[in-house]
A and B are shown apart, each in its own frame.
Chain A
Amino acid sequence: MSSKKTITMEHGAGGQFMQELIGGMILKNITQRSAGTVGLDDLDDGSTISLPEELEDGAELVMTTDSHVVDPLFFPGGDIGKLAVCGTVNDLTVMGARPLALTCAIILPEGFELSVFEDIMKSMNLAAEEAGVAIITGDTKTIQGNKLDSMVINTTGVGIAPKVIRDNGLSAGDTIIVTGNLGDHGIALLSHREGFDFETKLVSDVSPVNDLLKGPLSLRTEDNQPVITAMKDPTRGGLASSINEMAQKSGVGIVLEESDIPVDMAVNTACEMLGLNPLEIANEGKAVIGVRPEYAEEVLELLRSHKYGANARIVGKAVSENTGKVLLRTSIGSLRQLGMPVGDPIPRVC
């Protein structure tokens, strides 16, 4: 499995191959990998830069970067510009940070239409306005038309976190919450791209979640700890990928109630028709949150009062047994392991 000699699409799919690529090619060859409590090795949504002690009491800067490619550039509910802003804003947010500023580096192929480019910039701006974040520096390169067939936008973001939230902070007993319906982005994109005509119009959920999570992030326990213990944004690989990573890094088991996981009917139908698992489909405006159980209801209420959190649900809990594994309690009452997504699933039903 790990004997690939050239880059394949699977290397970018968020599964096992990508992990091998990161471990074997990137981490291995970079020597200075940390500037704060969270570094490159942690493979979290972002990393932190410690501030000089006299400036802030334990607060850290959080930095993250993401390159965005999407086919097609415009899709129901969004476009590459909005995606480029939200992706980075959301990565900062799930680190517990308030986004401050973004960079924007763009690579364009020769022949790209200027009017399209402008539409994308306008969309970027709208998203940045909504998120309340400035775009303060950037770069533009062009590449010969036959070497790149679409545009790439890289955004790097900086935010400040009074208390950094990690993806490894779950303890047994913590409640797991998702902030809304899963799979909207991936299925909307797929059906639009491939021309599948599903009954209902599917729309991507791409949106900044910083405002949605502002309330829950500000909650503190009596001894002044965040009530949120761990958080991730379930992008590539969907909930399956995020929650497995959280379980493995935190050293807990997780039991999810399948019937409690919110999935839009149309997305579910599309997945049923194509044989896809909605829990493995990408989201661009959601968060998976671990919460101290006694605050779960409060967090849920805060989320639900926000326009992006109306469908937030408690979906399960962290447990002390079966560490590193995510189990799904199915409708017939049996438990099924929800594994890391692995590219194209290999049939196994005899």
Chain B
Amino acid sequence: MICRNITVEGIVQGVGFRPFVYRIAKNHNICGYVRNTGGRVEIVAEGSQGNIKNFLNSLISDKPDVSQIYSIEQEETDIHGYTDFSIIQSSSDRTPNSILVPDIGICNNCTLELADPQNRRYSYPFISCTECGPRYTVTNTLPYDRYNTSMGEFKPCPICDKEYSSPSDRRFHAQTVCCQECGPQLKFTDSNGQLISHRDNAITDCSNAINEGKIQAIKGYGGFHLACDAFNVESVQRLRERIGRPQQPFAIMVKDIGTARELVHINDREEKLLLSSKRPAVILNIKNETCGHDLEEIAPQLHNIGVMLPYSGIQQMLFRNTSSPAYVMTSANVPGLPMVIDDDIAIRELGHIADNYLLHDIRIENRIDDSVIRSFEHDHVFIRRSRGYVPEPIELPFDVRPCVGVGAELSNTLIFASGNKAYISPHIGNTSHFETSKYHAEVFECFSKLTSIEPERWGCDLHPHFSTTIFAKDNGGDAVVPVQHHHAHLVSLMADAGLERDARMIGIALDGVGYGSDGTVWGGEVLETSYTEHIRHAHLKTHAMPGGDLCSYYPERMVLSMLQGLVDHDELLELPFELKHGQKEAEMVLGQLDKRINVIMSSSSGRVLDAAAALLGICRYRSYQGEPSMKLESIARKAKDRSLELPVNIKDNILDTGRLLLELYRHMDEYTVPELAYAYEDAFSRGVAELAIRSANRTGIDIIGLTGGVAYNEHINYRIRDVIEENGLRFVSHSRIPCGDAGISLGQAIVASLHE
């Protein structure tokens, strides 16, 4: 007989880990107990040497699917003489690496029960078990126990209580266990919040309303969605009008994988993603023949669309009686602001958008948007790493001291890291909006509490006017380390790719805008990068941005800027500009450029791609982030003749993007728009790859990495990769962290943590 104290660290809370330990302890005749302590599970096991050994083996090999074990520590202790094995009340002491589990999509067992008229939870939408259901979104504080979640407000009925306390039951110690008798309930209201129906009728009424073409605000575990029939063009248009998103693609939720297959191309890798318990929205290529359904209104001028499968009981039930197998399912928020989570606020702020509300009485503790993954032909990359993934930590290739990265501004996230774990927040949004900057501060508090990390270093952007920079400086004092935007992008990539602490990489960072170390605005950079330093080796030609940020919204301004001096003044003004103030404004922009009034210099690659989209008439006004270059990519895919090769001009390690746009302009009469778009992206990619390869050759560094929002362009991403690999160099790109500014916080935190 021996006794062992065993501590298991990992994703071990809220995934049915203690019931699992209980079961295997019973199987192996082990006495003692299991309990949660902060983020770990502590087991005291007494039994024979052999039984303990088998118990430990089973602990590792039979653990629940969603759990992850990072480490098991054990030590021999004195025999206590336990006579049974039990699960005991969580201790409230906290450990630095508290781990909370992401929400888990509804499991197969619960799906079956939900549809089984004989089951006591038949048609009860809040069905869940130890292996599925809400976690992060309902948890107020660790340890993860019912009384620390918003489910604590619902006292389990005797039957639920029995399931909860029966070790053989699959809801044994399921903190969210509840049923029709004791759990939360649905209600269905009109746009003013006036009750129409509740319980079962609420779902039926809601799906009927969708069938009728109405727009629904549907409360989930982590926030509100706006939903309507994806195949009802008028509904979708009405939603666009009411929410003020004339062009932005909506994600759709489809009834099942079969329906998804009718609409989009799905390979095995993508199917696995769609069906995984994390249930992200996956951006997939639209089939040419989509069974008579037109997806143009949902993803205007794009070749792909975000698709996800139902991940909650409510969603599954909504598809039961519907005439449509696909719903638009988009986060309910004013563009740029955090998603709505409060019933009253939803009714106040979405009243002009939603015709009805489907509400329930679970309080949302933590807001979370759907995760979005862009799938390429061979791999995929996160656009938004949120539900299903957050707050699961990212493992770092080396230990860092406790630190925080506050992020940049658009599509922002923040991060807490310590040791080899980094906890990235859910999508926060555009912190230039005051409400979003407040939410940023709330998420900071929440993650500070959940991770118990007390940062010794604060990483922030170099841009002095970002609200996140100001937040860091106001709160972090001497611990603040401003990190150059593209350095942060690239360090995030190095960590994502698992590069060692002393690694050096030639980094390509392609994005819209980032404040440069020299006070100018960067965005098309080749930096020799380590975890602590960056040296700017090469970049895109610097162009004037007449009117600064105005150029991001009106890419024709960049056409004027890039072609001024290359194309005759009068000839340039003959282009059919669609600026807000028409042709007059085009003249004004040229004057502004001449006189250098409110003109900012930038090597942005986003603006260079935007300019082509504008020149080719693909997108002359940007109504959502990335619109011009996304549409450029989609149209380029239609190129039949791909033989046009635009020349690449590099001088003094600067890629002349002005000449590139000029070449495009010169060929406009001879080729189709898709062919021109394809050729432009191709030449841009070759040029950028060439800059990086020259740097690699010069420095002897043989790894080249690509990051930044432009890396979401599959054609550009793969083209750059091909050229680099053809040259015998190693190419790395993101797999766990977004390439866009949502990935910045990780790089900031690491650079800051390594700063003296």
Contacts and interface: CB of A to CB of B under 8 A. Distances in A.
Nearest to B461: A348
Nearest to A270: B588
B548 A345 contact: yes
Contacts of A269: 581
A275 B467 contact: no
B410 A350 contact: yes
A335 interface: yes
Contact of A327 (B434, B464, B545, B588): B434
B651 interface: no
Contacts of B598: 274-276, 344-345
B585 interface: yes
B65 to A, nearest CB: 37
Interface centre among A269, A274, A345, A349 (most CB of B within 10 A): A349
A195 interface: yes
Contact of A337 (B334, B410, B467, B602): B467
Interface stretch (B141-149, B219-227, B589-597): B589-597
Contact of A275 (B244, B432, B466, B547): B547
Contacts of A347: 513, 521, 545, 548-549, 551-552, 600, 602
A349 B597 contact: no
B717 to A, nearest CB: 18
Given A335-B433, A348-B409, A273 B589 contact: yes
A333 interface: yes
Interface string B727-751: 0000000000000110000000000
A348 B434 contact: no
B98 to A, nearest CB: 32
B278 interface: no
A349 B435 contact: no
A335 B548 contact: no
Interface string A330-346: 00111111010010111
Interface string A1-26: 10000000000000000000000000
A335 B465 CA distance: 16
Contacts of A334: 334, 336-337, 433-435
A348 B589 contact: no
A199 interface: yes
Contacts of A195: 591
B138 to A, nearest CB: 28
A346 B465 contact: yes
Contacts of A335: 433-435
B588 A274 contact: yes
B515 interface: yes
Contacts of A130: none
B388 interface: no
A190 interface: yes
A112 interface: no
Contacts of B592: 273-274
Interface in B400-415: 409-411
A53 interface: no
B33 interface: no
Nearest to B586: A273
A35 B295 CA distance: 74
A281 to B, nearest CB: 11
B439 to A, nearest CB: 12
Contacts of A222: none
A158 B232 CA distance: 72
B742 to A, nearest CB: 11
A349 B513 contact: yes
Interface residues of B, number: 51
A223 interface: no
A335 B337 CA distance: 9
B549 A345 contact: yes
B580 interface: yes
A344 B519 CA distance: 12
A322 B441 CA distance: 14
A346 B521 contact: yes
B729 to A, nearest CB: 28
Contact of A349 (B433, B437, B467, B552): B552
B511 interface: yes
A273 B334 contact: no
B589 to A, nearest CB: 7
A272 interface: yes
Interface string A268-312: 010011111000000000000000000000000000000000000
A117 interface: no
Contacts of A337: 432, 434, 437, 467
Most A CB contacts (10 A, CB to CB) among B553, B580, B581, B740 go to: B581
A273 B552 contact: no
Contacts of B512: 349-350
A345 B600 CA distance: 8
Contacts of A336: 432-434
Given A272-B581, A274-B547, A334-B435, A348 B465 contact: yes
A275 B337 contact: no
A252 to B, nearest CB: 16
Contacts of B411: 350
Contacts of B549: 275, 345, 347-349
Contacts of B551: 275, 347
B625 interface: yes
Contact of A194 (B410, B584, B591): B591
Nearest to B521: A347
A36 B555 CA distance: 55
A183 to B, nearest CB: 14
Nearest to A276: B598
Chain A CB within 10 A, most for which of B434, B465, B512, B592: B434
Interface in B606-622: 606
A350 B511 contact: yes
In the A-B complex, list the 6 residue pairs whose CB atoms are closest, starting with the nearest.
A275-B547, A350-B512, A275-B550, A335-B434, A349-B552, A349-B549
Interface of B: 244, 334-337, 349, 409-411, 432-435, 437, 463-467, 511-513, 515, 521, 545-553, 580-581, 584-585, 588-589, 591-592, 595, 597-598, 600, 602, 606, 625, 709, 740-741
11 contacts: A194-B595, A332-B244, A332-B335, A333-B349, A334-B336, A337-B432, A339-B465, A342-B465, A346-B464, A346-B600, A347-B513
